[in-house]
Structure formats: C-alpha cells, structure tokens
C-alpha cells in the first residue's frame, strides 16, 4: 500500500484551540527563503507544508497543551525537509514557540549535513533587516543566540558526547536512517524527555537496511498511521510507495513526492535518473529509496534488480511434468528454532538454464510474529496459497523437512541433496543410511560464493525460471550481499532485513546442480558396445 497522509491535502478541520499553529505559520510567513525568487519568498508557502505545521501545533490535550510530542516525517529527497525543520527551529528560538533560555537542536549524521541546516536557518534570518541585532549567529559553533530570551539554536552532528547534558525543547532529527548506532539518539531524546512539552521532529528518507532506530520508529509510525496503535502524542507523516507498484510510474512519483507538482524535486531530473537506473540495479535501488521511500533490499548492493527477477519469462507458471528426468539438486537451509527453513530443488536444462521449485516452512509462533512486525508483506496470503507451510508450535519438526526432501528424491532425478550440517546432522545420517545422495554444504564463503555468483548470472541472463513464488521473491530481493575480493559475494543473514533462508537454499541448489558432472553415457544402461567403431 502506498502511504500518503490524506489529511495533508483535504479540507478536514484541524483544531487549533490555543492558536499555536496560527502563530507559528504567521511567524514562518515573516521569513524569506534565501533561494526563493518571485514575489512569494515564504519558506512554507504550499498547502501540504502548512497542513503539517497545523497538525503538529494545533491539537491540544486535556490540559490545553500541545498534543503532539514526536513527529515522524518520511519524505523523499528534494521535498525541502531541511527548510521545514529550520523554520520550526527558529520558531522555538526567536518565534512564538520560544521558551526563555530554551534550546533548539537540529542533529544530523555528519558535520556537513548539520552545517546545511544551520546555514539555512541563519540565511533566512539574514533576509529581514528588521531582525538585525535581535539575534547573534556564531558560525564556527553553528549556533544562533537570542539575547533577549536567552534561547539558543544549535546544529550538531553525530558525536554523542556533544549531546550529553543537552535538554532541548525542540529537537530536529535529520536523516535518521544513516545515524551510526543509538548513542546520539539516546543522548538527545533522554535530554528532551526532561523538558515538559518538548517537541521532536524526525525528517528522513527510507534506509538501506530494515534495522536500527529509524526502522523501529518507522514501524511504530506505520502502526499509528494504520490504527493498530493509538498514540495521540505521536504524529506519523508518511510518504512512501508500495514496493509492489511500478517504480517507473510517474503518477506514483507524484503521490509520494508532494512538492513534485511545484518543481521540487525536478521532474526532468527524476526522469533522467530513472532512465539510467533501469539498467543498473544499484541505481534502481537508490532511486526507490531516496525518491519513493522504499526501504531497499539486496538490490542496493547490486545483487538483483526486481524488474529483472519479475521478468515474465522467468515468472511464468512451471510445467511440473516437463521436469521429470532432468538432473536436479536440492538445497536445504535448516532453521535453528523460530526461523524459516527453506528447501529448493533446482533442475538443469540442456541449454544451461535452471528451473527451481521452492518450499518454505515457518513455525506458527514465528508466523504470528512476522505477520505483526512486517505488515507490508502478505504472510497470510502466502500461507493460504500454499507458498508457505506453517507448522504448529515454536519449531519446525525435523520429520516434516525430512519427509519433503525424501518426497522430492522419489519424484525427481535428484543427484545431490545439500545440507548445512550445523542443524541437519540427524536428518543427514538417516538419509545417508538409505543411500540417498546427501552432502555437506558448509555455510562458508569458499563454498557458497561460487554458488551465489552462478545464481546471479542465471537470473541476469534470464536463464532462471522460478514460477513467481512470492516467498522466494521476498527472500531474494531482501538478501543483502557481503562482497569480498574478486567481486565474489555471499548473502548475509545479519545484514538482510528479512528471512532469506529460501534464497540461501536456492543458491545451494543451483550451485550444486551447476557443478554436477554430466551423465556418463558409457556407464548408462543405454550404452551398447556394438555401436562402437574402432579403427
């Protein structure tokens, strides 16, 4: 589902009983943006920008105080996030939201980004000669001081030590997805918590990894946005495209970029970026991340581009009867406890292409947890369609996995069954005792890297048929590679933002059948020595 705050564009009333929003907007209208041209140089002239300010400052709690204390504003690049937060910082420093001797802080990941926020706030003040002498900019310290009230605005970077002891009444958090760790966030928010009625405004794009403080706050914001959690103090303002939608659709760009119709970002520039990104996976992932706020998957590291994976030739339904007799290998990635277990059988065709059949297993407890924590994926639909098998309890019984592997060996011409021996020792022993072709496939770089490279090659050359399995797609497109020397890579479970067990099993299966020796005709039952002509 594409996320857009409908209230930012419609006419639904936004209460402002204390007049706070009205005063903040009136203050904003006194400022002039240094880069603006024409007669209207206000920094926040557009309806959706003003509606966001109204929604932050207007509603009151039962004590008549500002209701909203935290804002999570997910906006694409070029939507003038910095301008909005700079205006609000000034409103809390020299404007109507000011508190005597209060501190407004804008925090960014690095010094250069922090400098951008400070320069924009300082330059807006410098446009009005009537304000001269009422504030003191201190460029080297990235501070603006208001002598009359003692209020201070500071722009700081991700040095947690500099933030300890700060008690901001206004905190602007810029591009949280790139902040290193939790230290700066914890230091600043713990300080803000000491100030009654403080306001924290997070403005960010989506991140490269579905992890960390930004991802956790995004999930919380999504719960509030969709009504699963009630928190009137937390305001989600989410502009993000549905990952399943066509990222090249310009109508989608307009729904997610509220300023696009007004020229920010530039539409021609977006078209040029998209044209180039269609052929380069890493650029396509970056485009979806920064312009559509789609949390990136494995494509961010150049692994595979979704439009390649979704090629109709690869996702068309598979004729199971045509697989009979083809050389095949099975890859099994076993789970320890509550994780997913993936089984994939890969078939090698004469022309060197592959067809795979994936089978995903998840225990009921883990299924409920994933369904709740990853609402953007259709876990229930996968279960109902048979793409995902959910077993009762907390773990997947070994006999369920063993039975499936034995079934595949009985049905198809399986030459090799590869297991990670770490969790599969008992199954391997039983199957080996029955002369089934089990082998150890250790989860090491030396063993797995060539397998993943062959899987990637097959997908990029459209020599890979997967039949449209949604769970395999989820695994492959959420797998994040760790690249080593010579461009070899493995898929990292630690870095990936979702269950990638099926992708691991797929790499194992393709790699095993790719390296399997061709059948020896002279050792087969069809060989007739009488056909040999010796000279």
Euclidean distance between CA atoms 284 and 177, whole angstroms: 19
pLDDT given at position 72: 98
Q: Copy the structure tokens of residue 397.
A: 């019984």
Task: Using pLDDT thresholds of 50, 70 and 90, give the confidence band for residue 509.
Answer: very high
User: Domains of the chain: which residue ranges?
Assistant: 6-238, 264-308, 312-514
Proportion of the chain above pLDDT 90, given as a percent: 56
Element spanning 415, H or E: strand 413-419
Element spanning 329, H or E: strand 327-333
The residue that leads in pLDDT, 505 or 137, is 505
Q: Quick check: 427 pLDDT over 70?
A: yes
pLDDT given at position 194: 83
Chain mean pLDDT for the chain: 87
What is the mean predicted confidence (pLDDT) over 289-315? 75
Euclidean distance between CA atoms 243 and 293, whole angstroms: 9
pLDDT given at position 413: 96
The residue that leads in pLDDT, 346 or 496, is 346
Q: Quick check: 36 pLDDT over 90?
A: no
CATH number for region 6-238: 3.40.50.300
By three-state DSSP, how is residue 55 classified? helix
Q: Which of 6-10, 179-183, 215-219, 355-359 has the lowest mean pLDDT?
A: 179-183
CA 246 vs CA 243, 278, 288, 473: distances in Å: 8, 12, 10, 16
Q: Quick check: 284 pLDDT over 90?
A: no
pLDDT given at position 372: 76
Angle between helices 81-93 and 47-57 (to 10 degrees): 40
So what CATH class is 312-514?
alpha beta
Q: Quick check: 156 pLDDT over 90?
A: no
What is the mean predicted confidence (pLDDT) over 226-244? 94
pLDDT given at position 487: 55
Read off the pLDDT of residues 63-108 as tens digits, 9 standing for 90 and up.
999 999 999 999 999 999 999 999 999 999 999 999 989 999 998 8
Q: Quick check: 388 pLDDT over 90?
A: yes
Q: Quick check: 375 pLDDT over 70?
A: no
Read off the pLDDT of residues 248-258 as tens digits, 9 standing for 90 and up.
999 999 999 99
Identify which of 468-477, 495-504, 512-521 has the greatest average pLDDT. Answer: 468-477
Q: Quick check: 403 pLDDT over 90?
A: yes
Task: Using pLDDT thresholds of 50, 70 and 90, give the confidence band for residue 532.
Answer: very low
Q: Which residues contact 216 (CB under 8 A, 6 or more apart)?
A: none
Task: Using pLDDT thresholds of 50, 70 and 90, give the confidence band for residue 115.
Answer: confident
Element spanning 235, H or E: strand 234-238
Q: Which of 52-56, 147-151, 313-317 has the lowest mean pLDDT?
A: 147-151
Q: Which of 99-108, 111-120, 293-302, 359-368 has the lowest mean pLDDT?
A: 293-302
- Mapping DSSP onto H, E and C, the string for 83-106 reads HHHHHHHHHHHCCCCCCCCCEEEE
pLDDT given at position 343: 96
Q: Copy the structure tokens of residue 160.
A: 């947690």
Q: Quick check: 296 pLDDT over 80?
A: no
Euclidean distance between CA atoms 110 and 239, whole angstroms: 25
Neighbours of 88 (CB within 10 A): 28
DSSP assigned state of 104: E
Q: Quick check: 246 pLDDT over 60?
A: yes
pLDDT given at position 139: 85
Euclidean distance between CA atoms 9 and 7, whole angstroms: 5
What is the mean predicted confidence (pLDDT) over 363-385? 83
Spatial contact of 237 and 52, defined as CB atoms under 8 Å apart: yes
Task: Using pLDDT thresholds of 50, 70 and 90, give the confidence band for residue 128.
Answer: confident
Q: Quick check: 505 pLDDT over 60?
A: yes
Spatial contact of 250 and 241, defined as CB atoms under 8 Å apart: no
The residue that leads in pLDDT, 211 or 350, is 350
The residue that leads in pLDDT, 65 or 447, is 65
Euclidean distance between CA atoms 153 and 147, whole angstroms: 12
pLDDT given at position 430: 94
Task: Using pLDDT thresholds of 50, 70 and 90, give the confidence band for residue 192.
Answer: confident
Cα dihedral 387, 389, 394, 396 sign: negative
Element spanning 491, H or E: strand 489-492
């Amino acid at each position: 589902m594409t996320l857009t705050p409908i209230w930012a564009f419609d006419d639904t009333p936004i209460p402002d009983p204390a007049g706070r929003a009205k005063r903040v907007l009136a203050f904003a209208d006194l400022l002039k943006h240094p880069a603006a041209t024409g007669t209207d140089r206000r920094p926040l002239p557009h309806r959706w920008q003003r509606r966001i300010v109204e929604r932050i400052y207007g509603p009151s709690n039962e004590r008549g105080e500002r209701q909203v204390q935290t804002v999570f504003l997910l906006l694409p690049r070029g939507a003038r996030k910095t301008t909005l937060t700079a205006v609000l910082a000034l409103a809390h420093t020299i404007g109507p939201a000011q508190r005597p001797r209060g501190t407004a802080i804008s925090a960014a990941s690095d010094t250069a980004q922090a400098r951008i926020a400070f320069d924009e706030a300082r330059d807006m003040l410098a446009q009005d000669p009537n304000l001269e002498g009422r504030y003191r900019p201190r460029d080297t310290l990235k501070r603006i001081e208001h002598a009359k009230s003692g209020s201070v605005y500071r722009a700081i970077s991700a040095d947690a030590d500099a933030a300890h002891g700060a008690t901001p009444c206004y905190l602007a958090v810029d591009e949280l997805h790139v902040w290193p760790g939790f230290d700066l966030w914890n230091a600043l928010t713990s300080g803000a918590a000491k100030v009654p009625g403080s306001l924290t405004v997070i403005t960010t794009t989506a991140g490269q990894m579905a992890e960390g403080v930004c991802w956790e706050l995004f999930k919380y914001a999504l719960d509030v946005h969709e009504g699963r959690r009630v928190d009137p103090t937390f305001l989600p303002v989410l502009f993000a495209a549905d990952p399943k939608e066509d990222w090249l659709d310009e109508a989608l760009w307009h729904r997610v970029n509220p300023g696009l119709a007004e020229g920010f970002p530039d539409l021609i520039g977006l078209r040029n970026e998209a044209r180039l990104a269609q052929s380069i996976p890493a650029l396509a992932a970056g485009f979806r991340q920064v312009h559509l706020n789609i949390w990136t998957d494995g494509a961010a590291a150049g692994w595979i581009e979704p439009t390649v994976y979704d090629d109709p030739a690869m996702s068309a339904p598979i004729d199971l009867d045509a697989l009979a007799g083809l050389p095949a290998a099975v890859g099994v990635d076993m789970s320890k406890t509550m994780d997913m277990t993936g089984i994939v059988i890969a078939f090698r065709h004469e022309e060197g292409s592959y067809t795979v059949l994936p089978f995903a297993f998840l225990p009921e407890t883990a299924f409920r947890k994933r369904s709740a924590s990853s609402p953007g994926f259709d876990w229930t639909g996968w279960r109902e369609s048979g793409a995902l098998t959910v077993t009762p309890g907390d773990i997947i019984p070994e006999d369920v996995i063993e039975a499936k592997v034995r079934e595949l060996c009985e049905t198809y011409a399986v030459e090799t069954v590869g297991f990670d021996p770490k969790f599969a020792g008992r199954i391997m022993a039983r199957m080996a005792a029955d002369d089934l072709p089990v082998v150890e496939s250790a989860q090491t770089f030396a063993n797995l890297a060539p397998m993943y490279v062959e899987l990637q090659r097959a997908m990029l050359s459209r020599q890979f048929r997967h039949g449209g399995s949604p769970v395999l797609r989820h695994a492959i497109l959420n797998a994040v590679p760790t690249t080593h020397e010579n461009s070899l890579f493995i898929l990292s479970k630690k870095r990936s933002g979702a269950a990638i067990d099926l992708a691991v099993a797929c790499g194992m299966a393709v790699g095993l059948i790719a390296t399997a020796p061709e059948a020896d005709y002279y050792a087969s039952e069809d060989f007739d020595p009488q056909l040999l002509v010796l000279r």
